[in-house]
Amino acid sequence: MEGVIVHYRQNRHTTDGNHVIVRPEGCDSREQAEQLVGKTVKWHTGKRDLVGNVASAHGNSGAVRVLFDKGVPGQALGQKVSFS
């Protein structure tokens, strides 16, 4: 399964560099997104893979919140990730 990194998790004052919002392909409801909680997500940088875990559903349209170990660079926005 694949998905696209949509944006960082943020609020009015701060942006978390290692929390990102991912939109999985074929997932269009909160119930489907909650089934992905606990799965591993990998983003390939070219040299190495950044690995994160799905923490929770985000909103009601099927997006999920992913926590990466290290911060995700801005070049990752709009790029594909793989779920395993």
pLDDT tens-digit readout, 11-44: 899 888 889 999 999 999 999 999 999 999 999 9
Nearest Cα residue to 10 out of 74, 81, 82: 74
What spatial distance separates the first Cα and last Cα of the chain, rounded to whole Å? 7
Answering whether pTM is above 0.85, one says: yes
Q: Residue 64 in contact with residue 58, Cβ under 8 Å?
A: yes
Which residue reads 């983003």 in tokens?
Answer: 43
Classify domain 2-83 by CATH number. Answer: 2.40.10.190
